[in-house]
Structure 1
Amino acid sequence: MVSAWPEPVVRVQSLSDSGIDSIPDSYVKPIYDRPLHMDISSNSNQPDNIPVIDLANLYSHDLTLRKTTMDLISDACRHWGFFQLINHGVSYHLMAEVRRVWREFFHLPLEKKQEYANSPATYEGYGSRLGVEKGAKLDWSDYFFLHFLPVSIRNESKWPQSCRELVSEYNEAVLKLCGKLMKIFSLNLGLEEENAFGGEQVVGASLRVNLYPKCPQPDLTLGISPHSDPGGITVLLPDHHVSGLQVRKDNAWLTVKPIPNAFIINLADQLEVVSNGQYKSVEHRVIVNSNQDRLSLAFFYNPRGDILIRPLLTDNEPPLYDQPMTFNDYRTFIRLNGLHGKSQVQSLKSPR
């Protein structure tokens, strides 16, 4: 693993706060990657948001409502790869408080944040880029990344002291939610009511807190480049005051409209592999704006890093993904090469 960044790291928040009226060339995306306002939410032939699932309906005494909800989740996983989850059981107060402490962190003096500066060896800490290609086009965002599971690699001394207690409580709550979702997904796929990654004792989990500073030329750059997430499930706590997440749907970009106190759930590459392509990890990106900073928290629920991930076949289907890879190797490839759409998960398929 590369232990140092190829160039001096520039903090995007510092660029934004400096009052520049044009962005450095290193953040200007190629024309084909710039946001072109391809927003299908204004198209009357398309839905105006990703599906919304009420998790409380799964615990209703009404068996028909429970069955309908399971079907809605299955449809969202097969045709969207994204949905918003309401009545999910995580405390709204906890969600608000964890947002607050991270906003406070990003508004600390730069020298205080630099004490947590990360490296490409683990990505843990305060960062501003992904990939180690020299001269790469960068995203307009800063972040803080931390490991939560397995416990053997968790190091809370690397977390900002003001955040530690709340972050641990928040991660535990979201981890429980992910366990519930994996059981639902497994049942809908016709698997036993077990975690499709082998059980709750072997999963990995991490948290990435994203800050997207206001940008003087938002039409030239992106907060995060198009990609699908590498792991199993991503639980996103968005900034419901300002939209930024876009999901690729029918070869166009849908801007997601966050619902207050909802999570945005998206399926990631390893779940697509495990389901043999029945569930989809979907390409998404983040746009920025010239008026407001935006903060989001992405909780990643992943397979254990050292086991080969392969399709769990049902009904004697042929495996579509027949180049198994450990999650550690898969994630390392992305950390070294950056984000490139869905090219990585497609590489696990043999030519037909």
Structure 2
Amino acid sequence: MVASWPEPIVSVQALSQAGVSTVPNRYVKPTHQRPVYKSDQSGLDMEIPVLDMSDMWRNPEGLKRVRKACEEWGFFQVVNHGVDHGLMERVRGAWREFFDLPVEMKRKYANSPDTYEGYGSRIGVVKDAKLDWSDYFFLNYLPSSIRNLSMWPSQPPKIRELIEEYGEEVKKLCERLVETLSESLGLEPNHLMKAFGGEDKVGASLRANFYPKCPQPHLTLGLSSHSDPGGITIVLSDENVAGLQVRRGDCWVTVKSVPNALIVNIGDQVQILSNGIYKSVEHQVIVNSGMDRVSLALFYNPRSDIPIGPVEELLTDNRPALYKPIRFDEYRLMIRQKGPSGKNQVDSLLAST
């Protein structure tokens, strides 16, 4: 992997705070990639499903709802998920405080494209690429042996403890969700977890996102359209500012956060394992001119060094294996080199290509 970014890094938050009145050209998206707002999509008034975790657990009707959400949307919100609501608020607040620190303090954690770990402002190493209107902090969480605590922020006080506490609670939620997804596919509860490599071998990473105010939000995106490369993603959204959009056919649906809910989305590895029954759906983030936005994503992923391919029990004569197996570390490298690009990465694994 390359050791440095192709151009000097500019903090998007610093641009916003400097009061720029126009979006610099490197952030202006081509016309066909610019955000679409609800007012531009006549009649679109849909919401991603909201599921109650207490109804899903070992409940045939709940499992049917999970399956329907994963087949039709690839996204759902969960309530009664077991993660402490106060903790959710505290960890979100701590990250907001971090991004409010002087830029010199944040740059102590500046990242590079070899690991992405730390504070950054771009994804992908293609020179002169159009960039997204966001800053972020990325860190490795599981397995614990790969944690680099020297790259975890030390300010504001207790942020490291909050990362640890929040990560442990969301990890437990992910374990339950992987069992639930397995059962909803008609498999044994532990089938998908075994395919992930076992719960003591899975990987997880955390990404805190900061989307600053933008003078021309109709020209750019906080995060370009993509599907997540890993297993499942748990998003702690900003309840005060909408931003996440999910593709639904030819439309984009803006997600309205339910209080104290977490957003779950299916990643490319589950699409591959399910042989395309479950969908990792394109999503993007819009920005606005009036408010900053903070969100937190935990990516729960298969062990990096084992091939991931369609589950044999889900193959039939009418539906043979759709995808070629690939190790997750190879797959992730594709994303890190190219940056977000819709569904191109997972489509490149189709057996017919």
> Which residue, out of 152, 164, 168, partners 1:168?
164
Q: CA offsets, 1:225-247, max 9 Å, x none?
A: 00000000000000011100000
SS in 1 for 2:206: strand
Q: In structure 2, what is the Cα distance between the partners aligned to 1:173 and 1:298? A: 13
Q: In structure 1, what is the Cα distance between the partners aligned to 2:323 and 2:265? A: 23
RMSD, matched Cα: 1.5
CA contact (8 A) 2:197 2:306 kept: no
* Superposition pairs of residues 139-158 of structure 1, within 5 angstroms: 139-158=132-151
Change (3 A) 1:316 1:234: closer
CA contact (8 A) 2:56 2:180 kept: no
Q: In structure 1, what is the Cα distance between the partners aligned to 2:40 and 2:325? A: 35
* Structure 2 residue aligned with 1:184: 180
CA contact (8 A) 2:307 2:328 kept: yes
Kindly state the Cα deviation for residue 40 of structure 1 after the two structures are TM-superposed. Answer: 8.4
* Structure 1 residue aligned with 2:21: 21
Amino acid corresponding to residue 237 of structure 1 in structure 2: L
Kindly state the Cα deviation for residue 42 of structure 1 after the two structures are TM-superposed. Answer: 6.3
Q: CA offsets, 1:9-61, max 9 Å, x none?
A: 00000000001100110000000001132568862xx55310000112245xx
CA contact (8 A) 2:275 2:323 kept: no
Change (3 A) 1:41 1:54: farther
Q: In structure 2, what is the Cα distance between the partners aligned to 1:98 and 1:41? A: 35
Q: In structure 2, what is the Cα distance between the partners aligned to 1:33 and 1:216? A: 18
SS in 2 for 1:100: helix
Q: Given the alignment of the two structures, is residue 244 of structure 1 paired with residue 243 of structure 2, yes or no?
A: yes
- After TM superposition, the score normalised by the length of structure 1 is 0.95
SS in 2 for 1:130: coil
SS in 1 for 2:200: helix
Q: In structure 1, what is the Cα distance between the partners aligned to 2:165 and 2:79? A: 20
* Superposition pairs of residues 197-216 of structure 1, within 5 angstroms: 197-216=196-215
Q: CA offsets, 1:79-121, max 9 Å, x none?
A: 1100010111100010000011111100001100000000001
* Superposition pairs of residues 239-318 of structure 1, within 5 angstroms: 239-314=238-313, 316-317=315-316, 318=319
* Structure 2 residue aligned with 1:324: 325
CA contact (8 A) 1:41 1:48 kept: no
Change (3 A) 1:36 1:316: closer
Amino acid corresponding to residue 334 of structure 1 in structure 2: I
CA contact (8 A) 1:54 1:87 kept: yes
- After TM superposition, the score normalised by the length of structure 2 is 0.95
Kindly state the Cα deviation for residue 69 of structure 1 after the two structures are TM-superposed. Answer: 1.4
Q: In structure 1, what is the Cα distance between the partners aligned to 2:39 and 2:177? A: 29
Q: CA offsets, 1:300-333, max 9 Å, x none?
A: 0000111110000225424443421111111111
Kindly state the Cα deviation for residue 188 of structure 1 after the two structures are TM-superposed. Answer: 1.1
Amino acid corresponding to residue 313 of structure 1 in structure 2: E
* Structure 2 residue aligned with 1:30: 30
**Higher alpha-carbon deviation: 157-166 or 14-23:** 157-166
SS in 2 for 1:68: helix
Q: CA offsets, 1:120-139, max 9 Å, x none?
A: 01000000000111110000
SS in 2 for 1:201: coil
CA contact (8 A) 1:39 1:255 kept: no
> Percent identity among equivalent residues?
56
> Which residue, out of 108, 115, 120, partners 1:122?
115
Q: Given the alignment of the two structures, is residue 95 of structure 1 paired with residue 88 of structure 2, yes or no?
A: yes
Q: In structure 2, what is the Cα distance between the partners aligned to 1:139 and 1:319? A: 38
Q: Given the alignment of the two structures, is residue 339 of structure 1 paired with residue 340 of structure 2, yes or no?
A: yes
Amino acid corresponding to residue 160 of structure 2 in structure 1: R
Q: In structure 1, what is the Cα distance between the partners aligned to 2:208 and 2:11? A: 15
**Higher alpha-carbon deviation: 169-178 or 315-324:** 315-324
SS in 1 for 2:312: coil
Kindly state the Cα deviation for residue 155 of structure 1 after the two structures are TM-superposed. Answer: 1.4
* Moved >6 Å (runs of 4+): 39-42
Q: Given the alignment of the two structures, is residue 67 of structure 1 paired with residue 60 of structure 2, yes or no?
A: yes
Q: In structure 2, what is the Cα distance between the partners aligned to 1:94 and 1:316? A: 42
Change (3 A) 1:41 1:182: farther
**Higher alpha-carbon deviation: 142-151 or 47-56:** 47-56
Change (3 A) 1:109 1:304: same
Question: Number of matched residues?
Answer: 345
Q: In structure 2, what is the Cα distance between the partners aligned to 1:212 and 1:316? A: 42
Q: CA offsets, 1:328-352, max 9 Å, x none?
A: 1111111011111001000111227
SS in 1 for 2:284: strand
